[in-house]
A and B are shown apart, each in its own frame.
Chain A
Amino acid sequence: MRATPIPDLVRPSLAKGVRLQIDSATGNSVLLYPEGIVELNETAHEILSRCDGRTVGEIVCELAEVYEADPAALTADVSDTLSDLQRRKLIELK
């Protein structure tokens, strides 16, 4: 079941104590937090590297342009990824 879409105007940001970094051993992105590491897939990396004050709507539009994809379809993917990360307390939605 898909989560309720996150409103366009919400600004996601990394939660306190969470760092986004390139893992030099693999070249992939990771999230680092107390006693934990999450390896990110490409979608999550593309979304999280834009969580710097931009709104969900802006992030979706940019990704739609980069990937020449339909924004409506992307909205659901972005919402799912962000909701999952929020549940794991790795990002905050404000």
Chain B
Amino acid sequence: MKAPRPYALLAEITYKCPLHCPYCSNPVAASLCEASHRPRDGGYRNGELATEEWKRIIREAAALGVLQIGFSGGEPLDRRDLVELIREAREAKLYTNLITSGIGLGDDRVRALRDAGLDSIQLSFQSDESILADEIAGARAHEHKLNVAAKIRAAGIPLSLNFVIHRRNIDRLPQMIALTEALGAERVELANVQFYGWAFRNRAALLPSREQVDRARGIATAAKARLAAKIEIFYVLPDYYETRPKPCLHGWGQRYLTVNPIGDVLPCPTALSAIPDLRFENVRARDLNWIWGESESFNRFRGTEWMPEPCRSCPQKEIDFGGCRCQAALLAGRAASTDPVCELSPNRASVDALLRNLNSSGGQTRDWNYRLNPGTRPVIFGAY
């Protein structure tokens, strides 16, 4: 099918991050983060794209029709050229979002980001108070984040709080919403963890129980009604507990594209690790226009032609697009199958078995593996 125009680019400018959240969607395999494409020279570091390469990507994305850019990672503040890249994006008339842990954001940098034209900041929080939040982050971060939120407010940059919700913090939803109010954010994402990357590896520790999920849904719905005039609450459902899949990306290669730190262009940020048999193109070899429109990776699941049954004859196929390709690959072993979360999928039983197993285990706490930076050794919490 003919490629539609994309609307949004996720620019993952580095995989380096000062936090070690066990639900990180970055690839677990360090080999994926490091680069078979490592340049002999001219790169930024560890094979990361250079400033000029990112600027070219930004201009090519705008020419393709992209209207929004999210700077993410890893921790995007870890790159010294962030302000320069934001300025470039604003010159290309893109709406600029910074998705950040806030670590490394002082007064001067906040002002520099604002002056570069940054439109909005999404600040991650791991919970509402520091003991649990820092345990989840694997770093002492929470108190710092509270200060950063105040700096962002003072600079007048629109603020969203992003909470990833999982078994260990889901019971604190009311407190998270109260923190959002207290910090004066305009928007909050309460996103139940989606199982890719590190989160997939840590599923047993992160999956909430059915009882927790039911309670959280009620709390989110009530808060939405109560705060309707004040805060935008965006609640992301825990899809393993749903009966129909999420309309992932609004369809493969329809609206979104991601460029990772080493220049791979991905229909979805998790596709690189979840779908190993798909070859992704790199901006060092091809321009964005060709990759978006012509490449095998963007066309493989574009539209509805690729769909197997039960999707092919499903009246919902233009509504949920068969769900998530990465999830199909991770749970059913084949990206071109129906998302196993769907009750009509022949693989739904495997999701049910997982939920049954977890829900009968009495809610005990299980260990997780902290997310590591590429090329580093495990972090022992509390050691620094």
Chain A residues with CB under 8 Å of chain B are 15-17, 19, 21, 23-25, 30, 32-35, 37, 89
Tell me whether A25 and B122 are in contact in the complex, defined as CB-CB below 8 angstroms, given that A17-B158, A32-B95, A35-B97 are known contacts: no
Task: Convert B82-108 into 0s and 1s, putting 1 for each residue whose CB lies closer than 8 angstroms to a CB of A.
Answer: 000000000001010100000000000
What is the CA–CA distance of A24 and B160 in the complex, to the nearest angstrom?
A: 28
What is the CA–CA distance of A32 and B69 in the complex, to the nearest angstrom?
A: 11
B68-A89 in contact (CB<8A): no
B93-A21 in contact (CB<8A): yes
- Chain B residues whose CB sits within 8 angstroms of the CB of A32 once the complex forms: 67-68, 95, 119
Task: Convert B53-66 into 0s and 1s, putting 1 for each residue whose CB lies closer than 8 angstroms to a CB of A.
Answer: 00000000000010
Q: A32-B67, A34-B120, A34-B160 are in contact. List 15 more A-B contacts (CB 8 A).
A: A16-B186, A17-B119, A17-B120, A17-B158, A23-B65, A23-B67, A24-B93, A25-B5, A25-B65, A33-B120, A34-B97, A34-B119, A34-B122, A37-B7, A37-B67
- Chain A residues whose CB sits within 8 angstroms of the CB of B95 once the complex forms: 19, 21, 32-33
- Chain B residues whose CB sits within 8 angstroms of the CB of A33 once the complex forms: 95, 120
What is the CA–CA distance of A21 and B120 in the complex, to the nearest angstrom?
A: 16
A37-B68 in contact (CB<8A): yes
- Chain B residues whose CB sits within 8 angstroms of the CB of A23 once the complex forms: 65, 67
Q: B181 contacts the other chain (Cβ, under 8 Å)?
A: no
Q: B348 contacts the other chain (Cβ, under 8 Å)?
A: no
- Chain A residues whose CB sits within 8 angstroms of the CB of B8 once the complex forms: 37
Tell me whether A89 and B119 are in contact in the complex, defined as CB-CB below 8 angstroms, given that A25-B5, A34-B187 are known contacts: no
A89-B232 in contact (CB<8A): yes
Closest chain B residue, CB of each to CB of A34: B120
Closest chain A residue, CB of each to CB of B156: A16
Q: Which 8 A-B pairs have the closest CB atoms?
A: A17-B158, A32-B95, A25-B65, A34-B120, A17-B120, A16-B158, A25-B5, A89-B232
What is the CA–CA distance of A23 and B64 in the complex, to the nearest angstrom?
A: 11
What is the CA–CA distance of A9 and B219 in the complex, to the nearest angstrom?
A: 38
- Chain A residues whose CB sits within 8 angstroms of the CB of B7 once the complex forms: 37
Closest chain A residue, CB of each to CB of B231: A89
- Chain A residues whose CB sits within 8 angstroms of the CB of B93 once the complex forms: 21, 24
What is the CA–CA distance of A33 and B223 in the complex, to the nearest angstrom?
A: 22
- Chain B residues whose CB sits within 8 angstroms of the CB of A24 once the complex forms: 65, 93
What is the CA–CA distance of A25 and B64 in the complex, to the nearest angstrom?
A: 8
A17-B67 in contact (CB<8A): no
Q: From residue A30, how far is it (CB to closest CB) to chain B in Å?
A: 7
- Chain A residues whose CB sits within 8 angstroms of the CB of B186 once the complex forms: 15-17, 89
Q: From residue A24, how far is it (CB to closest CB) to chain B in Å?
A: 7
B5-A34 in contact (CB<8A): no
Q: From residue B64, how far is it (CB to closest CB) to chain A in Å?
A: 8
Closest chain A residue, CB of each to CB of B158: A17
What is the CA–CA distance of A30 and B120 in the complex, to the nearest angstrom?
A: 17
What is the CA–CA distance of A35 and B8 in the complex, to the nearest angstrom?
A: 9
Q: From residue B70, how far is it (CB to closest CB) to chain A in Å?
A: 8
- Chain B residues whose CB sits within 8 angstroms of the CB of A89 once the complex forms: 186, 232
- Chain B residues whose CB sits within 8 angstroms of the CB of A16 once the complex forms: 158, 186
Closest chain B residue, CB of each to CB of A87: B228
What is the CA–CA distance of A37 and B263 in the complex, to the nearest angstrom?
A: 26
Closest chain A residue, CB of each to CB of B229: A89
What is the CA–CA distance of A89 and B95 in the complex, to the nearest angstrom?
A: 17
What is the CA–CA distance of A37 and B68 in the complex, to the nearest angstrom?
A: 8
Closest chain A residue, CB of each to CB of B63: A24
What is the CA–CA distance of A33 and B67 in the complex, to the nearest angstrom?
A: 10
- Chain B residues whose CB sits within 8 angstroms of the CB of A17 once the complex forms: 119-120, 158, 186
- Chain A residues whose CB sits within 8 angstroms of the CB of B158 once the complex forms: 16-17, 34
What is the CA–CA distance of A33 and B7 in the complex, to the nearest angstrom?
A: 13
Q: From residue A21, how far is it (CB to closest CB) to chain B in Å?
A: 6
Task: Convert B116-138 into 0s and 1s, putting 1 for each residue whose CB lies closer than 8 angstroms to a CB of A.
Answer: 00011010000000000000000
Closest chain B residue, CB of each to CB of A22: B93
Q: List 30 A-B contacts (CB under 8 A).
A: A15-B186, A16-B158, A16-B186, A17-B119, A17-B158, A17-B186, A19-B119, A21-B95, A23-B65, A24-B65, A24-B93, A25-B5, A32-B68, A32-B95, A32-B119, A33-B95, A33-B120, A34-B97, A34-B122, A34-B158, A34-B160, A34-B187, A35-B68, A35-B70, A35-B97, A35-B234, A37-B7, A37-B8, A89-B186, A89-B232
